Copies of this chain bind each other. A is one copy, B any other.
């Protein structure tokens, strides 16, 4: 019942739900765009982190990005398999492995950034340039003072 076109894609009320919707929109499109260069959003995110923190050890990458160590192993495995990054021994701590981006990885991540920017442009098309700046500012501000993450769960919805 009901005109049926009314309940479709309702704007959520809670901020958490809005974050989720926008993340999902962005994530879906990013995944589709990155597929053309053989990257997933997660692999791209790690590469992009390495772009600025080349030689970080796995634990640092995971801590900074909120990725579980056991998940990191698989991600770095894949980056190595694709020739986009390499593990190398840490100079002083033999437990740790530094992860360095390869030239090929650097080229990939640059193309990925272009694609990610295009997606972001698309997702935020309802906002003009000043509004986008304002939104990013508010998001960063909220995040920087948000309570520490105990390292979450999965689920969906809220």
Contact = CB atoms under 8 A, between A and B. Distances in A.
Given A14-B120, A64-B8, A142-B123, A23 B20 contact: yes
B16 A157 contact: no
B92 A1 contact: yes
A122 to B, nearest CB: 6
- Interface bin, chain A: 35 or more
Contact of A15 (B55, B139, B158): B139
B9 A63 contact: yes
B142 A124 contact: yes
A8 to B, nearest CB: 5
Contacts of A49: 10
Contact of A7 (B19, B27, B44, B56): B56
Contacts of A8: 60, 63-64
A3 to B, nearest CB: 11
Interface of A: 1-2, 4, 7-11, 13-31, 40-46, 48-49, 53, 55-57, 60-61, 63-67, 71, 90-93, 116, 119-120, 122-127, 131-132, 134-136, 138-150, 152-153, 155-158
